[in-house]
Amino acid sequence: MGPPSAAPHGRHRPWQGLLITASLLTFWDPPTTVQFTIEALPSSAAEGKDVLLLACNISETIQAYYWHKGKTAEGSPLIAGYITDIQANIPGAAYSGRETVYPNGSLLFQNITLEDAGSYTLRTINASYDSDQATGQLHVHQNNVPGLPVGAVAGIVTGVLVGVALVAALVCFLLLSRTGSIQRDLREQPPPASTPGHGPSHRSTFSAPLPSPRTATPIYEVSVGHGCCGPAGSRGPRICPHQHLAELRFRKMQ
């Protein structure tokens, strides 16, 4: 009895096909769609600055970009659009003249204001007319003193207020101390000296001038003429009432 004959080389074996199929499934990685994102540069900008809403991971097959102000494209006002075929910006209802859409889908804001802060959504349309969208945030704060952070400005303001309060307290203390010193001096002032036989008096008194020594009374010597009448006094005759009858001589007696 001879040996068994070998299988012909041209026959197909079913298990070999299964191995080939499994190998293809293992090494074949189907392409995946990467979701694009929106990034604000800078993430928080001061009022009056420029901000770029950068579109990241954008596909090369995009045919049109549309920027909306809101968390979704549906129902949100259109700011501006960009058509890649004609390379032109198309303004929308929310366009203010400060927005520009670039060919890569990014949106530039110029001279931003506090009212510009909020959510912005980019909607894209590819060559197959498939639509996709992503949302980013724009943060705006008030412009501060150049070169000084917010914490430094707050510290300066606090220091100035504390200094003003200390100066006011020092002025009040000095005024109160001076007022108390004046009142204390008034209480310690001695009363005015009193004169003998009289009590102290707060009113100013003026002493009457002392009488001067009695001056001599001028004595007039009268020469009596004819016709003068009247009794004679101890120092001489009386003056005649008739002046034309008398001759007067004045002499001051010691």
What confidence score (pLDDT) does residue 221 get? 45
Please state, for a pLDDT cut of 70, what percent of the chain lies above it. Answer: 55
Tell me, yes or no, whether 84 and 152 share the same domain.
no
Query: Is 203 among the domain residues?
Result: no
Instruction: Identify the CATH number of the domain in which residue 96 sits.
Output: 2.60.40.10
134 in a structural domain: yes
Question: What tens digit of pLDDT does each residue of 8-64 get?
Answer: 455 555 545 554 554 554 444 444 456 889 999 999 999 999 999 999 999 889 999
* Structure confidence by residue, pLDDT tens digits, 99-142: 999 999 999 999 999 999 999 999 999 989 999 999 999 999 99
Do 47 and 30 touch, CB atoms closer than 8 A?
A: no
Same domain, 91 and 114: yes
| Tokens (6 digits) for 126 | 């590819």
Quick one: CA torsion of 149, 154, 155, 160, rounded to 10 degrees? 130
Average confidence (pLDDT) over 167-180: 84
What is the model's pLDDT at position 224?
A: 46
Domain co-membership, 47 together with 93: yes
205 in any annotated domain: no
154 and 91 inside one domain:
no
pLDDT at res. 190: 65
Residues 97 and 152 in one domain: no
Cross-strand bridge partners of residue 191: none
C-alpha span between 129 and 27 (Å, rounded): 31
Count of domains observed in the chain: 2
Please state which of the ranges 37-41, 85-89, 220-224, 230-234 shows the lowest mean pLDDT: 220-224
Q: Please, which pLDDT band fits residue 172 given cuts at 50, 70 and 90?
A: confident
Neighbour count for residue 53 (Cβ, 10 Å)? 21
Residue 166's domain comprises: 146-175
**Backbone conformation region of residue 180, classed left if phi is above 0, alpha if psi is from -120 to 50, else beta:** alpha
